[in-house]
Amino acid sequence: MNHFICSSLIDSDKKLPNYTLVVQEFALTGTPETTHFELAVLFFTHGATLQNPTGAAVPVNDNPQGLPVYKADIIVEISSKTVVEVLKQGLAIALLKFNDYLTNPATTLSIYSDFALESAQAARELGLGQFAYDSIRTDEDNLLRCSQLRLGVYQSFSELRQNRPSLTGNLVIREKNDFAELRKPSGSNARNRFFGFCDGKDLFISRRSYQSGGLTQRYVRVKSVGRYLVWIDNYITSGEIAGASFGLVGALAANYKDCIVLDMQTGGVFRVTKDKLPAMLAGHDDLLAELETLSNPQDGLQQLRLLDKLNKLVRPVSMR
């Protein structure tokens, strides 16, 4: 990515201030029909006089004094399979949005997000409305202390942790074998990529958080709630996708089942391994002893049962 930017984008106006473009995240995936590119970038200025409009304190490696000026989250999905063309289009959009901001900083927001626009469109299609919560917090505003999970859609980990789904309404859910999709009121397909949702009883987490590329619109049912949210699915890394053609990804995913967790302290999602389990079970000698007796500590179902016991030991009484 850095090589592409440096070789393709030439500074043609030396009168402009110097800015640094930092690529925070990017994902490139595809199907036989389309190529999908997601790009998150921050533009920094070399100076300490500007304010920080994004609220982010992200250091620039080669210039710790640089301050963030503009943030852009871009989605490109086109029929072309040429990687260079897709990368170029995504970067061009980000630069054009940044130019718009520099031209009219007083009237143009310093943040642009295709993801926010996509989320708003999805909410309209699903017939969901924004819900406003009281500023006063109680145990009902804590996922691990509440007596009742609130029905609705989570747009972020913060909403999940607070048991405060921001989008509510009549959810149309299609479920099968612990996986679910959110549908339009008519029952037809709806494109959405929310963080997760609750049907009033169970939690469902988007598979995008651990299947690199993020094209999936399916959600997986959480099997255990506590210190970790735990479920079983296929954990597919970008490296695994890179090693297989797009048509083989489905076959790759069908070959194994993983125990996957969402860390309720950090919001991180990761695949459980036998090497990670001792640290996760630290302080619980009985569970560590049981780990030593597992016939296959790498088996996802055995890992899930062990972590479910951990969750039942450490979670608040109200959730038991």
Q: Mind listing the pLDDT tens digit for each residue in 143-189?
A: 999 999 999 999 999 999 999 999 999 999 999 999 999 999 998 98
Tokens linked to 136: 């006063």
Q: Can you tell me the distance from the alpha carbon of 220 to that of 218, in angstroms, rounded to the nearest whole number?
A: 7
- Quick check: 6 pLDDT over 60? no
For helices 300-314 and 285-293, give the axis angle rounded to 10 degrees.
Answer: 170
Window from 33-42, 105-114, 132-141, 270-279 with minimum mean pLDDT:
33-42
pLDDT (0 to 100) of residue 27: 76
Average pLDDT over residues 7-12: 51
Q: Give the residue among 315, 311, 313 at the shortest CA–CA distance from 224.
A: 311
pLDDT (0 to 100) of residue 236: 78
Residue-wise pLDDT tens digits, 58-70: 444 444 447 888 9
Average pLDDT over residues 20-37: 76
pLDDT (0 to 100) of residue 305: 96
pLDDT (0 to 100) of residue 47: 53
Tokens linked to 272: 């459980």
At residue 221 the predicted structure's pLDDT band, cuts being 50, 70 and 90, is: very high
Average pLDDT over residues 15-35: 74
Q: Which H or E element spans position 92?
A: helix 83-103
Average pLDDT over residues 76-101: 83
User: Amino acid identity of 281?
Assistant: L
6 vs 39, residue with greater confidence: 39
Q: Can you tell me the distance from the alpha carbon of 280 to that of 272, in angstroms, rounded to the nearest whole number?
A: 9
pLDDT (0 to 100) of residue 20: 84
Is residue 221 a contact partner of residue 202, using CB atoms and an 8 Å limit? yes
Residues 6+ apart with CB under 8 A from 240: 212, 252
- Quick check: 287 pLDDT over 80? yes
pLDDT (0 to 100) of residue 151: 97
Rg (CA), the chain: 22
Specify the DSSP class assigned to residue 163: T
Residues 6+ apart with CB under 8 A from 226: 144, 264, 308, 310, 311, 312, 314, 315, 319
- Residue in the structure block whose two tokens are 């440096």: 6
pLDDT (0 to 100) of residue 316: 63
- Quick check: 123 pLDDT over 70? yes
At residue 31 the predicted structure's pLDDT band, cuts being 50, 70 and 90, is: low
pLDDT (0 to 100) of residue 89: 86
Give the phi and the psi of residue 111 in degrees, each rounded to 5.
-135, 130
pLDDT (0 to 100) of residue 181: 94
At residue 318 the predicted structure's pLDDT band, cuts being 50, 70 and 90, is: very low
pLDDT (0 to 100) of residue 156: 92
β-sheet bridge partners, residue 68:
44
CA distances from 210 to 68, 145, 156, 275 (A): 28, 26, 15, 19
Average pLDDT over the chain, rounded to an integer: 82
CA distances from 200 to 148, 263, 300 (A): 8, 21, 27
Average pLDDT over residues 228-232: 97
Average pLDDT over residues 304-320: 80
